[in-house]
Amino acid sequence: MNFKTGGYWLYAMVSPENQKQWGRMNYLAFDKYENIEIEDAFCDENGKLNNELPVSKGQIAFAKKDIETIKNHGGDEAAWKELHKMPVCPFFAGPFIAI
């Protein structure tokens, strides 16, 4: 994963029978603290795009939320503590939720 503008994430979707379908998410733009523009396409295991299949484009948006509000609306305490063990994304300050 090359998490920057112009970078991409190569991943495989794996079935219970261990069949793999490869995908590539291209990072088109970052708006710090706001959103990430992406392009998601099918590819081979080396990241070469399959131009015969459609490409989807979109945004991943982020919103600051109060930790206590989030915790008090459906999250159990054990899951919340596990979440805080995860590494923090370096360009986001404070808690965030992907919407």
Q: Which of 91, 64, 88 is nearest to 5 (CA)?
A: 91
Q: Are 49 and 25 in contact (CB under 8 A)?
A: no
pLDDT above 90 for 82: no
* pLDDT of 46: 96
Please give the Cα distance from 33 to 75 (Å, whole number). 23
* pLDDT of 31: 86
Confidence of residue 73 (pLDDT cuts 50, 70, 90): very low
Token pair for 66: 């109060």
What is the share, in percent, of the chain residues with pLDDT greater than 70?
Answer: 64
